Amino acid sequence: MKTQAIVGLVTSITITLLASTPAKAQDFDALLQSALNPEEVTIHQQRGSAKAEQLARQACTSLDAGTSVRDFASQVSQSLLEEKIAPDQVATISAYSGKIIAFGIAIFCPQHLQKIEELELERP
């Protein structure tokens, strides 16, 4: 799985979020679910809101420790590969994970939004 897909999605979603009003932590699940397509909704139902929030908060913890968004996305990609996900679900789960990371950063640690903006500048 390419981490570039996750990073690109994180970037585009966060830029969209920057244009909206600041969200509150209690809005995380509702905002996330409103951005999911039908396939991602199915994944969210299987994995659960608690796991999504856990991943979102892990993103913040990693960024607080100095990890880049790109490196965190790579770690997520690697862990997804280790789950032995069916090849036809890889793209959908990557998109879903990217949305979790983006909404997590925007809601739980907006001080790191600049790191996502910097990713946008790196894109070819």
Mean pLDDT for the stretch of residues 94-106: 87
Report pLDDT digits (tens) over 23-46. Answer: 565 688 888 888 899 999 999 999
Q: What does the alpha-carbon distance between residue 77 and residue 3 come to, in Å, rounded to a whole number?
A: 6
Mean pLDDT for the stretch of residues 109-116: 85
Locate all alpha helices (DSSP H) within 20-89, ordered by sequence.
28-34, 38-47, 49-64, 69-82
* pLDDT at 25 (0 to 100): 59
**Per-residue pLDDT for 1 more than 50?**
no
Other CB atoms within a 10 A radius of the CB of residue 70 amount to 17
Report pLDDT digits (tens) over 59-94. Answer: 999 999 999 888 898 888 888 778 777 778 888 888
Using CA atoms of 69, 73, 79, 85 in order, give the dihedral in degrees to the nearest 10: 160
Backbone angles phi, psi at 47, to 5 degrees: -85, -35
